[in-house]
Amino acid sequence: MNKKCKLCANYNPLEESCVLQANSFDFTSKNCAYFIRYMNLLPQIKSFNRRTLTVVTKRGIERAIPAYPELDLSLRCNSKGEVESIFTYQGQRELIHDYGLRVATEIANNKGIRLYVLPEEEYKENTKEKYGCKQGEQPLKNLYWMSEYPIEVWT
């Protein structure tokens, strides 16, 4: 992927891949003819005179979209117009993808906000648990080939 891919609406920032790439055998980012600019992605904002509410995501700086329609983001932003990601639609998608539904719900409850779950996310598990690493734990010791700490296998 190149820098242009992150600006495309076909780019999935959670999986860091192109939606079109999965459907095409002869795909490279150079021959992609289906570029559609992702409209919520903003260029680096130099002055905050304009009151555009923004959120920092894996894709970059985006226009903040409320997690659900009743949520007023203007009450949740700082003086620069930046909104914490848990209050935005984009941030909640990232949170559910990274930590799973159970942990994301706990984080949202601690912030005093309702977690808006999409139908395809209802059974989303922690992606870190898929790779043998629960939150707060290190992966299996035999997977390390260099470590700052002694490993039982070496001693």
Look over the chain and give the mean of its residue pLDDT values, rounded to a whole number.
76
Q: Which two tokens stand for residue 101?
A: 């539904």
Q: Which two tokens stand for residue 26?
A: 């002869």
DSSP-assigned letters across all residues of 12-44: ETTTTEEHHHHH-SS--GGG-----B-TTB-PP
Look up the pTM and report it: 0.66
Instruction: Give tens-digit pLDDT for 72-107.
Output: 888 888 888 889 999 999 999 999 988 888 889 999
- For CA atoms 17, 23, 26, 31, the dihedral sign is negative
Instruction: Give tens-digit pLDDT for 48-72.
Output: 556 788 899 888 888 899 998 898 8
